[in-house]
Amino acid sequence: MTVTARRMLEHVDKLGLHPESLAADKAYGSGEFLAWLLERDVQPHIPVIDRRQIRKPS
C-alpha cells in the first residue's frame, strides 16, 4: 500500500507540487513510510502501527 502512496507523491513532485503534510489512516503508519516522508520534509499526520502488542500464534 505504501508503494502506491510513494509513487503518487513522486508523481506530484514531478508536477512541481510539494506537500508540507500528509494525512492517512493507520494502514500507512509503518516506520519505514513515516521515515520516508520525513526525509522529504513532509509532516505525517498518520497513526503509528504499534506491532509490540501483536501476539504470534503459539
Number of domains in the chain: 1
4-14 residue pLDDT tens = 999 999 999 99
Q: Which amino acid is at 19?
A: P
According to DSSP, residue 24 is labeled: -
**In this structure, is residue 32 part of a structural domain?**
yes
**In this structure, is residue 57 part of a structural domain?**
no
pTM, 2 dp? 0.77
Distance CA 35, CA 32 (A): 5
13-46 residue pLDDT tens = 999 999 999 999 988 888 899 999 999 999 999 9
Residue 36's domain spans which residues? 2-52
